[in-house]
Structure 1
């Protein structure tokens, strides 16, 4: 696997993913019970947007760069920008937080985080970024294997009834990754059925996603929600036109908070008349 997220850190897909993840974390921590979060494809957890990788693509300028400049008045977006600013106050003005950093930022002292990363160099840096934070356990291993090893979560005498599993694979194998994704979600749900699951996926041609949506609708959950952000029309197979989050067992009424945030993101980050936002229930609780 050759993927390095440093080339794409802070782009429109990261914005969607991280706004959504923070919204879920805040819903989970609204109750006092401890929370466990598993990040299956964690990366290094912290990125420098002035580094060669990010500068080479310039993708962050159309994502977090544009959003910081315009800062739309939406609570979820404001929460996300607050977290980015907190990261920059701690690590420098060009830093950008990956999902493990955001999980550590949003969760509490009693909560625990497991972050899996297969690439040795990235895993080493991930460990370095969380030295001294006893809440975060870094596993240099395949994320799908981590699902089998780490779920259901139990640390010491604590069994976690509530939590989040974030699955954010690189999709280097394009649509073949969805086979691994569906298998991983089925495995995870069999082990920890009450957790919230958040899967990120890229959007190029929408029709190519329909088989995945049909399979996702059969997963054994009470509710599943799609949250999508397109920055341009989804009619080009040669580039990522947007992305989405498949949310299984999402927090109660999260769609009411996500909809205005997604609409604002489409307006600010859109690159043409095809920019749009979409929420769709695949399955709703009876």
Structure 2
């Protein structure tokens, strides 16, 4: 595996993913019972946007940098921007938090987080970044395999009934990755059916994703939707024109939060022909 998220940190895909992630965390922490979050492809947890990798691609300029400049006012977006500012206040003005940092920021002292990373260098940095946080267990292992090992979550005699699983693979296998991810989601639901599951996916040509949409609709979750942000028209197979999230068992009214936020993100980050959508695959009756 050659993928390094440092080249892509803070881009438009991260913006979509992390706005939604924080909204889900806020829904979980609205109730007093403890929650558990599993991040299957965690990376190193924090990135430097002034580092060589990020500067080489410049992708953050079209993502978080543009969003700060446009400063949309939707509460889910301002919540996300406030988290970025908190990360930078603690770790420097060019810092960008990955999903493990955002989970640690948004969840509470009695919640628990497991972050998995297979690449040794990235896993080592992830461990170093969170060495002082007893809530976070870092696993240097394959995230898909961790689903079988870590779900349902149990800490001593305590079972945690509420939580989130984020599946954010690198898609180095391209469309074949969807087969692996769908299988992992089915396995996870069988083990922990009440959790919320989020699968991030890239969009080049949307028509090539039709088999994925059909398989996603057949997953036996109580409810599910897709939320997508395209920053340019869906007509180039050579570029990532946007990305999407498949959300299984979304928290109550998450769609009402993300729908308007998506429209503001489209305006703030999009080029000519940009678009967004939030479509239910299955509604809980």
TM-score, normalised relative to structure 1: 0.99
After the TM superposition, which residues 1-286 of structure 1 pair with which residues of structure 2 at under 5 Å, given as runs? 1-272=1-272, 274-286=273-285
Q: What's the offset of the Cα at 1:75?
A: 0.1
Gaps of 5+ in 2: none
Provide the rounded CA distance (Å) in 2 between the counterparts of 1:156 and 1:68. 43
Provide the rounded CA distance (Å) in 2 between the counterparts of 1:214 and 1:189. 18
Provide the rounded CA distance (Å) in 1 between the counterparts of 2:147 and 2:204. 28
Give the CA RMSD over aligned residues. Answer: 0.5
Q: Counterpart of 2:226 in 1: which secondary structure?
A: strand
Q: What's the offset of the Cα at 1:157?
A: 2.2
**4+ residue segments displaced more than 6 Å:** none
Q: What's the offset of the Cα at 1:156?
A: 1.6
Provide the rounded CA distance (Å) in 1 between the counterparts of 2:151 and 2:32. 21
Q: What's the offset of the Cα at 1:143?
A: 0.4
Q: What's the offset of the Cα at 1:132?
A: 1.1
Provide the rounded CA distance (Å) in 1 between the counterparts of 2:239 and 2:194. 35
Provide the rounded CA distance (Å) in 2 between the counterparts of 1:153 and 1:234. 39
Q: What's the offset of the Cα at 1:251?
A: 0.5
Provide the rounded CA distance (Å) in 2 between the counterparts of 1:48 and 1:56. 12
Q: Counterpart of 1:152 in 2: which secondary structure?
A: coil
Q: Counterpart of 1:33 in 2: which secondary structure?
A: coil
Deviations 1:210-234 (A, max 9, x none): 1001001111111001000000011
Gaps of 5+ in 1: none
Q: What's the offset of the Cα at 1:248?
A: 0.1
Q: Counterpart of 2:175 in 1: which secondary structure?
A: helix
Q: Counterpart of 2:225 in 1: which secondary structure?
A: strand
Q: What's the offset of the Cα at 1:158?
A: 1.7
Provide the rounded CA distance (Å) in 2 between the counterparts of 1:83 and 1:51. 20
Provide the rounded CA distance (Å) in 2 between the counterparts of 1:109 and 1:68. 29
Deviations 1:40-87 (A, max 9, x none): 000000000000000000000000000111111110000000000000
